[in-house]
Amino acid sequence: MSESNALQSIAIGVGAGLLYHFLNTLSEEKVELVENLQQCVEAVKILRKHCNEVPVLGLDCEWVDAPNVSLLQLCSHKGYCAVIRLCKMASIPMSLCNLLSDRKVVKVGVGIAKDCEYLEECDLPTNSALDLRFVAKLTGAKPQNLADMYKAVVGGTLKKDLELTLSDWEAYTLTPQQIQYAADDAKAGIEIYKTLAKKVSDVNVFAQYYDMDYVPRRDNDLKSVASDECCLQ
């Protein structure tokens, strides 16, 4: 049986949702949907392992009724993305709390200060959050929204379907499209960071901008510190 026929058989047998999970397990860039404590513990173990190599995570959140965070997305430099349904979890493992509060693990995103504000309201304080617009400005790129920066810096495309953006993130079951949409934002963040961080000789140059909101009228005048040498961690 050919691979395509095999996948068609699986689709018929298990349905689109499980097929989505199956296909992602075949790739190193895995998307893991997390809906309970044990799944979260296992996902954090993988993220921690990857952070031992490069201590940076792409971070994004989705919500229906702010400041209650419905979904937390964390993506490692290897493309492993945990899509954590906080709204479905009866309790949060301490390992996730420790990961978010760990100052040695940098969390990157655009407009990430708002995500961290809402996470704080959910008793998940998050430290060492870095707005990618600072990284862009300091490396000679243009500070933009996530989709535009992803296209300009990485060459990728983020689908920003308004119907998905405003969809019910607390639905009983998320669709494969919702899961991929959420994961893509976190993945885009880490990919932008990986590309831009190679333009500086020491990423510690970004540290003074941790946990700060990017304010264009104040921060657009920052000078580039790009170097001929490069460093990712």
Quick one: what percent of the chain has pLDDT higher than 90? 81
Quote the tokens at residue 226.
Answer: 């790009």
Dihedral sign for Cα atoms in the order 127, 42, 90, 182: positive
Express each pLDDT in 163-216 by its tens digit. 888 899 999 999 999 999 999 999 999 999 999 999 999 999 999 999 999 999
Integer Cα distance of 118 and 121 in angstroms: 5
Per-residue pLDDT at 64: 96
Residue 31, helix vs strand vs coil: strand
* The CATH classification of domain 28-219, taken from the options 3.30.420.10, 3.30.390.10, 3.90.400.10, 3.40.50.2020: 3.30.420.10
- For the entire predicted model, the pTM comes to 0.86
Average pLDDT, the chain: 89
Quote the tokens at residue 48.
Answer: 């921690």
Average pLDDT over residues 100-104: 98
Express each pLDDT in 123-156 by its tens digit. 999 999 999 999 999 999 999 999 999 999 999 9
Backbone angles phi, psi at 135, to 5 degrees: -60, -40
Instruction: Assign 229 a pLDDT band (cuts: 50, 70, 90).
Output: low
Quick one: what percent of the chain has pLDDT higher than 70? 85
Residue 24 has pLDDT above 70, yes or no: no
Residue 211, helix vs strand vs coil: coil
Expressed in angstroms, the distance from the first to the final Cα of the chain is: 45
Integer Cα distance of 161 and 179 in angstroms: 13
Q: How big is the chain by its Cα radius of gyration, in Å?
A: 18
Q: Which of 51-55, 79-83, 186-190, 224-228 has the lowest mean pLDDT?
A: 224-228
Quote the tokens at residue 183.
Answer: 């994961």
